[in-house]
Amino acid sequence: MSNFAELTYDGKTYQLPVVEGSEGEKAIDISKLRSTSGLITIDKGFKNTGATESAITFLDGEKGILRHRGYSIEELADKSSFIEVSYLLIYGELPTQEELSAFKNDITQHTLVHEDVKAILEGFPSKAHPMGVLSSLVSSLTAFYPKSLDPNRSVEEVNGTIIRLLAKLPTLAAWAFKNRMRQPLVYPNNNLDYCSNFLRMMFGLPTEEYNINPVVANALDKLLILHADHEQNCSASTVRIVGSSHASLYASVSAGIAALWGPLHGGANQAVIEMLEAIKADGGDVSKYVAKAKDKSDPFRLMGFGHRVYKNFDPRARIIKQAADDVLEALGVDDPVLEIARELESVALKDQYFIDRGLYPNVDFYSGIIYRALGIPTDMFTVMFALGRLPGWIAQWKEMRENGDPIGRPRQVYTGHNERPYVSINER
C-alpha cells in the first residue's frame, strides 16, 4: 500500500504524504500543497480537515468510542474523579497518590480570587448572561497575573497559571450565578472537595449552613468528567487558534468560553429544557410531539436526541443516565417538566423509528435534567459545561504550545469584485 496520495491537476501529478495515527486513522498531509501546486483546499467548517496531531483524546463516532489518553470514558467515569481526570488530560498520565494529593492541595490553595474582581462583577447588570460574565472575568485574570503574557516563562510558571485557572474557575462560575440571582457572594471553603465547594458557593447563603448532598456532588463529578474533553470541537479549536498567537492561557480559555456559549455548541442542554417547557406549556402531550418529530414536513426537532459525531450511541449518555436517576430519586423532585423528559426517554429507547435512526437520548438530555433538578437556571447550564470542559481546554492549549504549533492562519478563496477604480462620493 502506498504511503502517499496522488492529485492530478492541469496535467501535473502531485504526491501528498499519508500519515497514520495510533488508532489507524489516516490523513492526507497537504501542508506543502500550495507551495508545490498553487492550490489550496476548501473545507467549510473543517469537517474533513485535521488541524493538528494530538495525543489527548480519541473519538470514534461510528463505534461510540471516547478515550482520554487511552483510557475509556466508561472506566474513568466509574473509577476516577474529575480532579484525577484533569491531571490525566493535562499531564498525560494518571497521577500517583502523592502526585494527586499535591495537585489537589495546589488547587485548594488558589481558590480565592483577587478582591478587585468583585468590582468587575458588580459592574454587570443582574440580567447579564452568566457566560458573558464568566468569559469576561476569566479574561480579566490576565491583568491580575501579567506574567502569564510571557510566552517564554518557565515550566513552573506555566504550571502555576494552569493551577490558578483550575482553582478559580469554580469560584468565578459560582459568582456569575450569584450575580444573576443578586445574592451575596460565598467564598470558597478549602476544607471541601472540588465539587462540594462549588455547590456550596452556588447555593450557600451567609445566613445558614449549607449541607452537601453526596449523591448530588457525585453526580456533578461524573458530569464534569463526561464533559472534560471532546477532541477538536469548536471551543477546543478556538482555544488552540487563540493560543497559537501566544495569547495567555486566560485569554485563550476566555475565547473558548465565548465559543461554547453559541447555541450550536454548548447550548444543547439548555435547548432540551426549553423544549420540555414548551411541551408542558402546550398541554404536556408527549405523543403529539413524538408524532411531530416523525413528520418530515414539520420543522419541530427533538433536542437532546442523537449526536452529530456519535452515529449509534453516545457512550457518555449511558453513564449519566444512572446519575440522573440517582439525583431525581435522592431529591424527590416533583416536576412535570422532568416527567415529560422521562416519557420522551421511554419512547426514544423503545420506538423503532428512533432506534433505526440512532435518535437516542444523549449526554445533553440527561445533563439538562440533572441541572434542572438541582435548581440551576437554564442560562447557567452552559457555565456548568465550561466548568467541566476546562481541563480539556488547558490540555489542548498546553499541547499546542509544547509542540510548537505555528500560528493558525486559514486560507480562503476570494469571490468578491475584481480591481476597480475608486469613485468619489459626489459621483456615486
| Whole-number average pLDDT of the chain | 93
Percent pLDDT > 70 in the chain is: 100
**One-letter amino acid for residue 360 of the chain:** Y
Sheet of 71-72, strands arranged across: 57-60, 65-68, 71-72
The answer to whether the pTM exceeds 0.85 is: yes
Given a cut of 70, is residue 1 above it in pLDDT? no
Residue 398's pLDDT is 98
**Residue 381 belongs to what H/E stretch?**
helix 381-402
Residue whose C-alpha cell is 492561557: 249
* Catalytic site includes residue 364: yes
Residue 304's pLDDT is 86
Given a cut of 70, is residue 111 above it in pLDDT? yes
CA atoms within 13 A on the CB side of 366: 28
- Measure CA 226 to chain center: 10
Task: Tell me if residue 256 falls in helix, strand or coil.
Answer: helix
Residue 17's DSSP bridge partners are 4
Given a cut of 60, is residue 416 above it in pLDDT? yes
pLDDT tens digits, 222-276 = 999 999 999 999 999 999 999 999 999 999 999 999 999 988 888 888 888 899 9
CATH code: domain 73-225+253-261 is: 1.10.580.10
For 114-128, 193-207, 354-368, which range has the lowest pLDDT when averaged over its residues?
Answer: 354-368
Q: What band does 409 get if pLDDT is binned at 50, 70 and 90?
A: very high
CB 216 within 8 A of CB 199: yes
* Average pLDDT over every residue of 367-383: 90
Residue 361's pLDDT is 87
C-alpha cell at 188: 470558597
Give me the catalytic one of 221, 229, 314, 364. 364
Given a cut of 90, is residue 305 above it in pLDDT? no
Question: E strands along 213-288, which residues?
Answer: none
Give me the catalytic one of 68, 221, 307, 314. 307
DSSP state of 308: S
Residue 213's pLDDT is 94
Residue 2's pLDDT is 64
Query: How far apart, in whole angstroms, are the C-alpha atoms of residue 338 and residue 331?
Result: 13
For 91-105, 277-291, 349-363, 375-389, which range has the lowest pLDDT when averaged over its residues?
Answer: 349-363
* Average pLDDT over every residue of 180-202: 95
CB 190 within 8 A of CB 111: yes
Query: How far apart, in whole angstroms, are the C-alpha atoms of residue 62 and residue 155?
Result: 38
How many residues comprise the chain? 428
**CA nearest to 384, candidates 288, 253, 261:** 261
Given a cut of 80, is residue 313 above it in pLDDT? no
CA 126 vs CA 113, 132, 169: distances in Å: 20, 12, 20
Show Cβ contacts of residue 156 under 8 Å, excluding neighbours closer than 6 positions: none
* Catalytic site includes residue 116: no
* Average pLDDT over every residue of 160-186: 96
Tell which wins on pLDDT, 61 or 90.
90
Query: How far apart, in whole angstroms, are the C-alpha atoms of residue 142 and residue 164?
Result: 11
Domain borders along the chain are: 4-50, 73-225+253-261
- β pairing state of 26-28 and 57-60: unpaired
Residue 334's pLDDT is 81
Show Cβ contacts of residue 387 under 8 Å, excluding neighbours closer than 6 positions: 169, 170, 173, 198, 224
For 142-146, 162-166, 301-305, which range has the lowest pLDDT when averaged over its residues?
Answer: 301-305
DSSP string, 285-316: -HHHHHHHHH-TTS----TTBS-SS-SS--HH
Q: What band does 61 get if pLDDT is binned at 50, 70 and 90?
A: confident
Fold of 4-50: Rubrerythrin, domain 2 (2.20.28)
For the chain, the first-to-last Cα distance in angstroms comes to 62
- β pairing state of 4-9 and 71-72: unpaired
Residue 159's pLDDT is 97
Given a cut of 60, is residue 176 above it in pLDDT? yes
CA atoms within 13 A on the CB side of 270: 20
Residue 408's pLDDT is 95
Residue 333's pLDDT is 83
* Average pLDDT over every residue of 41-53: 92
